[in-house]
């Protein structure tokens, strides 16, 4: 069973601070890593994808991947109240000829004005 683990939170940060969200995964052969944002009552929205070790930046978001440690993180700089949501980590692992996406349970982020 491929596992993706996240701290369920809630993680509470003040407006303007850096929010750090973490995720670990069990399958060492995993190749693709995604962060989805899910507002309450809404569907997941893809915000970041990362495929190789290191950092990937997109606006206020930075994804970090360390395959040796089986760890992926998402940093949100200058956090805004509109960033308050559940952040889902998802990992693609090979299942024979198919790449399956496994989700963590999500971390609830609250940004306080």
Partner 1 sequence: EAGVAQSPRYKIIEKRQSVAFWCNPISGHATLYWYQQILGQGPKLLIQFQNNGVVDDSQLPKDRFSAERLKGVDSTLKIQPAKLEDSAVYLCASSEHPPGTSVYNEQFFGPGTRLTVL
Listed residue (108, 109, 97, 94) closest to 25, CA to CA: 94
Least separation in angstroms between residue 59's CB and partner 1 is 17
Q: What is the C-alpha R_g of the chain?
A: 14
Least separation in angstroms between residue 36's CB and partner 1 is 8
Stretch that binds partner 1, among 12-20, 55-63, 73-81, 91-99 (CB under 8 A): 91-99
Listed residue (111, 113, 86) closest to 18, CA to CA: 111
Q: Give the residue, chosen from 64, 106, 109, 111, that forms a contact with partner 1 under the rule CB under 8 A.
A: 106
* Rounded distance between C-alpha atoms, residue 89 and residue 109, angstroms: 13
Rule CB under 8 A: is residue 101 a binding residue for partner 1?
yes
Q: And the tokens for 99?
A: 């790449």
Rule CB under 8 A: is residue 95 a binding residue for partner 1?
yes
Q: And the tokens for 98?
A: 């198919």
Cβ burial of 11 (10 Å; 0-12, 13-18, 19+) is: middle
Binding string, residues 25-64; x marks residues near partner 1 by CB under 8 A? ------xx-x-x-----xxxxx--x-x-------------
Interacting residue ranges for partner 1, rule: CB under 8 A: 4, 8, 31-32, 34, 36, 42-46, 49, 51, 88, 90, 92, 95, 97-101, 103-106
């Amino acid at each position: 069973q491929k596992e993706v683990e996240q701290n369920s939170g809630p993680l509470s940060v003040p407006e303007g601070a850096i929010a750090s969200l973490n995720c670990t995964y069990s399958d060492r052969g995993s190749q693709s890593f995604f962060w989805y944002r899910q507002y309450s009552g809404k569907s997941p929205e893809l915000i970041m994808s990362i495929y190789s070790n290191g950092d990937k930046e997109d606006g206020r978001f930075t994804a970090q991947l360390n395959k040796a440690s089986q760890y992926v993180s998402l940093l949100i700089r200058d956090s805004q109240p509109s960033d308050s949501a559940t952040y889902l980590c998802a990992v693609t692992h090979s299942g024979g000829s198919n790449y399956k996406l496994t989700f963590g349970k999500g971390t609830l982020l609250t940004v306080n004005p």
